[in-house]
Structure 1
Amino acid sequence: MKFRKNDEVIVTTGQYKGRMGKIIKTDEKANKVWIKDINIVTKHNKPTQGQDGKITKFEAPIDASNIAVLVKKATKTSVAVYSKIGYSFNKDGKKIRINKRTKKEY
């Protein structure tokens, strides 16, 4: 997966299109990411003998293909700029992440 924890991302498709946030968790096998304050779901827990019933809210995962790395945040006069991430090798042969739009190291 090309995304890592604490990357600033923007949602490119779906219900939350255009919303920005930080990645708080990733799942490489399922290709999912959790983004802070995006895709919040509510779970209602029934009361049991030992516990009270409660309502909890938490972030649900989003597929990694529906997000892109944020290059520049939006302001009043400009639009947010985002790009996909690719891989390349530097001169030492080490694998690095690059911004596909600018071809610079991320």
Structure 2
Amino acid sequence: MKIRTDDNVIVIAGKDRGKTGKVIRVDPQKERVYVEGLNMVKRHQRPVQGRPNLEIGVIEKEGPIHVSNVAIVDPKTNKPTRVGVTRGEQGRRVRVTRRSGVEID
């Protein structure tokens, strides 16, 4: 997957289309990403013995979004872009945006 944690992404399909946020978690096996403040779902949380700081009741948290429904935000133009991989100095792999050619890492 070319999208990683702490990347700024824009949702290009679904109920949150057009919204942007920061990736907080990536699940490569299921090809899902969790974006801060987007695709909020409600879950019922019971008290757990031994975990007094756990939030109880109906809580809202981020739900997963398929990686094909998000795109990296180009830092130069603030528009969605694809990601490519090139070789940088000393032959290390570097992620670059296809729209403007800026390094992402």
TM-score with structure 1 setting the length: 0.78
Partner residue, 2:20: 20
Q: Distance in 1 between matches of 2:44 and 2:69?
A: 28
Work out the number of aligned pairs and report it. 97
Pairing 1:69–2:72 present: yes
TM-score with structure 2 setting the length: 0.79
Per-residue deviation, 1:15: 1.0
Per-residue deviation, 1:99: 0.3
Highest Rg: 1 or 2? 1
Per-residue deviation, 1:37: 0.6
Unaligned regions of 5+ residues in structure 1, if any? 48-52, 74-78
Q: Distance in 2 between matches of 1:92 and 1:80?
A: 30
Q: Name the stretch that deviates more: 96-105 or 79-88.
A: 79-88
Unaligned regions of 5+ residues in structure 2, if any? 48-55
Percent of pairs with identical residues: 31
Q: Distance in 2 between matches of 1:24 and 1:7?
A: 8
Q: Distance in 1 between matches of 2:4 and 2:79?
A: 19
Answer whether contact 1:72 1:82 (CA < 8 A) is retained.
no
**Residues 53-64 of structure 1: pairs in structure 2 closer than 5 A:** 54-64=57-67
Q: Distance in 1 between matches of 2:13 and 2:61?
A: 21
